[in-house]
Amino acid sequence: MRNLAALLMAVCLVAASCGDGNGRSSRGRDRDDRRERRDDRAEGTRQDEAPPAVPAPAAPADPLVGRWRSPDGAIDAEFTDDGQCRYTVREDGGVDRGRGLYTFRDNVLEIRPEGEPPVRYAARMPNADTLELEGDGERIRLARRPAGGDVPDRPDGPDGPVEPPHANDPFPGLARQRDDGIFPAVDQLRRAAGGHILYTRYEVLPDVTGTGGPSTPLGKIHVMTGDGQGQVPFIRPPHPWQAGTPRWSPDGRRILFSSDFLMWRSALFTDVFMTDLDTGRTYRVTGAEGFPGGTRPERGTVECAIIDDHGGLVDRKKQVHVAIQGHDEMLGLPDSLQFDINNAPAGKIWIKCWVSKHVGDLQIVDVPAGGTVRADEMKLSAGNFLATHPSITPDGRYLVFLSQHAYYNRRKKIREQGYDTVSVMDLHNPAKLAITWDPIRVGGQLAKAPKLSPDGRWIALSMGLPPKESLAICPLDSLLAGRPRPQAIVPGQMFVGGGTGHTDPAWSPDGRQIAFSRYTATTEWMKGDIFVVNADGSGLRQVTQVAGNQMAVCPSWSPDGRRIAFQLVTSRRAVLFVTDIAVRNVTSDIWTIAADGSDPRQLTRDGRSAEPAWGP
């Protein structure tokens, strides 16, 4: 039965991966200088707020005033009536963003970017909504964009220095990094009557080692409208990194997700990231809390030793990676498993080594300025830590997420993922350690699958061991005080050879109801449906009626509360056997259904879609 816990967690991951699946311009100069300048672009109209109905303004004296975009979306520009301009240029190597002054007269556009030489273009306007530019060896065609209603541009390039908080920062105490390569396509989020569904779609990569090993599923986040239209990639970190477990903030202005992108910059193997749709920027949220070092100018030396206790490595120099807090890049592969790290930041910092998700270790050391410290031995079987399944309070202060531990079981000689628990991070106090659910304080009960209520006061979660987890709610303030007071509202049940459990809770928009997955499992087979219950535990009712070879999981309410999206896992056999999930002999797609159980609709048909999150 204990192995069933890992299999249930895999339903939303590996199960979904087995479908039938099928010369820079002058604007690019001095990119690094511009990356470090603060983006003080004027705030545009929020996506979730309809612009007020006002009479159409008279045509400006300067015909360029307004917002412009190239047909391929690679260039965005804005000209204002005070002679200022802002521009964004997206290229394969990253994103340039700049600002400056401009003049437009006699069919000549001169742009004077900050800190750069002026650039002149021959300009022609075939009509009021088209601008054609030629100069500096290139031709550019731009179309006027409607005023208001658009989501601002995507984030700029690689991690710059940590930005200080500013007056309008919703997270005034959070030291945030910008992350290169994760460019959410926020321009895909046009207004749609039924809102948008974010979901994880798995790209299955074949075995490239030539050894006949298994294929590798890589999750990327896609988006579609509430009726399944416009299915396009949304967050696609480059190979080999993944992204998944997307969530919306209560106000729909932020998107949270988990990713292992550039994981050497974090103490964790997988972090929670956040995209602010008002600015388009993406930030790494977790991974350095509680470790204030890494920013001091003083340096020291750390003596390290890695113990290969997980069964032996074929090539240690090529497989063991090392990273340290305060360095944006990996330190390089050690020549041996005993080595020194010179030029380490002084103070209390983390050091980690890893071979894969389940093989690695993390240590905390206090580096003396100008001195040397010996770190504890790092054992590869210890494993790595992950932060996934995030949700955030309406005021943006508290982040609730699932803490996971992936490790190598030396006795069984298998990779396992266990010790799941719920953690809360105070984003206003980033140096404070995340508060973690302590099973000892709740009668040994474990917790997973956390989800904050719309008002941020309660956490719905799955409590207990599979296959008999109870659906419970817990006051957030009790967890913050270190004494969680959970209330089981739908208890799990055991029977001979199996049990009935509850997982994947999702609050209705008004906070009065909770949708969840109720499953029945034995040592051989499993089946599950979506149920709904009132927040006080009354009014339990079944919503879906799936077949014997199916399991409905990961429900998510529509913004108006009328429909529920969910992930449907289907075995290729007549019964959904536990082994089908383990060997990926299943398909997974996104469906929606009316909250009363009528009108089911299939939205995806790729067999590799999972974890829907319905938002505005």
Would you state the pLDDT for residue 30? 39
Classified by CATH at the fold level, domain 299-381 comes out as: Immunoglobulin-like (2.60.40)
Which own/partner pairs from 235-238 qualify as long-range (CB within 8 Å, at least 24 positions apart)? 235/182, 235/184, 235/185, 235/259, 235/275, 237/181, 237/182, 237/261, 238/181
For residue range 485-513, list pLDDT tens digits in order: 999 999 999 998 899 999 999 999 999 99
- 137-146 average pLDDT score: 79
Give pLDDT, residue 373.
94
Mean pLDDT of the chain: 79
Residues 6+ apart with CB under 8 A from 610: 12, 13, 15, 16, 199, 200, 201, 202, 219, 244, 554, 567, 588, 590
In the prediction, which pLDDT does 148 show? 37
When comparing pLDDT for 19 and 529, which is higher?
529
Q: Read off the pTM.
A: 0.72
Torsion angles phi and psi, residue 479, rounded to 5? -70, -40
Res. 455 pLDDT band, cuts 50 70 90:
very high
Work out whether the CA dihedral 596, 602, 603, 607 comes out positive or negative.
positive
Cβ burial, residue 380 (10 Å; 0-12/13-18/19+): buried
199: Cα separation from own chain's centroid:
11
> What is the per-residue pLDDT across 205-246, written as a single tens digit (0 to 9) for each?
655 444 444 556 789 999 999 999 989 888 888 878 899 999
Q: How far is CA 133 from CA 61, 97, 123, 193, 614, in A?
A: 20, 19, 5, 37, 41
* 524-to-530, 555, 569 alpha-carbon distances in Å: 21, 25, 16
Distance CA 590, CA 178 (A): 31
Per-residue pLDDT for 586 more than 90? yes
At 205 the pLDDT is 67
Q: Is the pLDDT of residue 408 over 50?
A: yes
Distances (CA, A) of 507 to 450, 479, 510: 11, 19, 8
Q: What's the token pair of residue 456?
A: 């941020």
- How do residues 74-116 score in pLDDT, each as one tens digit? 788 888 888 898 887 765 445 567 788 999 888 889 888 887 7
Residue 607 has pLDDT above 80, yes or no: yes
User: Cβ contacts of residue 156 below 8 Å, gap of 6+?
Assistant: 35, 39, 88, 94, 95, 96, 97, 178, 281
pLDDT bracket for residue 5 (50, 70, 90): very low
Q: Please report the pLDDT score of residue 34 as a whole number.
A: 39
- Measured between alpha carbons, how far is 364 from 362 in angstroms, rounded to an integer? 7
| Strand-pair category, 378-379 with 299-307 | parallel
Higher pLDDT residue, 283 or 529? 529
Give, rounded to a whole angstrom, the gap between the first and last alpha carbons of the chain. 40
pLDDT grade for 480, boundaries at 50, 70 and 90: very high
Q: How many helices (H) and strands (E) does the chain have?
A: 5, 41
Give the three-state DSSP class for 31.
helix
Mean pLDDT (whole number) for 540-559: 97
Q: What is the pLDDT of residues 434-450, one digit of tens each?
A: 899 988 788 888 899 99
Residue 161: pLDDT over 80:
no
- CATH 2.40.128.280 for domain 52-145: yes
- Which of the four pLDDT bands, split at 50, 70 and 90, describes residue 389? very high
Higher pLDDT: 369 or 145? It is 369
247-260 residue pLDDT tens: 999 999 899 999 99
Percent of the chain with pLDDT over 90: 42
Residue 574's Cα: distance from chain center in Å? 35
Most confident of 264-273, 335-344, 417-426, 450-459: 450-459
Domain ranges of the chain: 52-145, 299-381
The pLDDT assigned to 298 comes to: 87
If pLDDT is split at 50, 70 and 90, which confidence band does 396 have? Answer: very high
- What are the strands of the beta sheet with 398-409, ordered from one edge? 384-392, 398-409, 414-426, 435-436
Q: Look at the alpha carbons of 312, 313, 317, 321 in this order and tell me if their dihedral is positive or negative.
A: negative
Q: Give me the pLDDT at residue 290, please.
A: 61
Q: Is the predicted pLDDT of residue 37 greater than 50, yes or no?
A: no
pLDDT one-digit tens code per residue, 263-289: 888 999 999 999 888 777 788 899 876
pLDDT at residue 411 is higher than 50: yes
| Candidate ranges 74-88, 358-372, 469-483; pick with highest mean pLDDT | 469-483
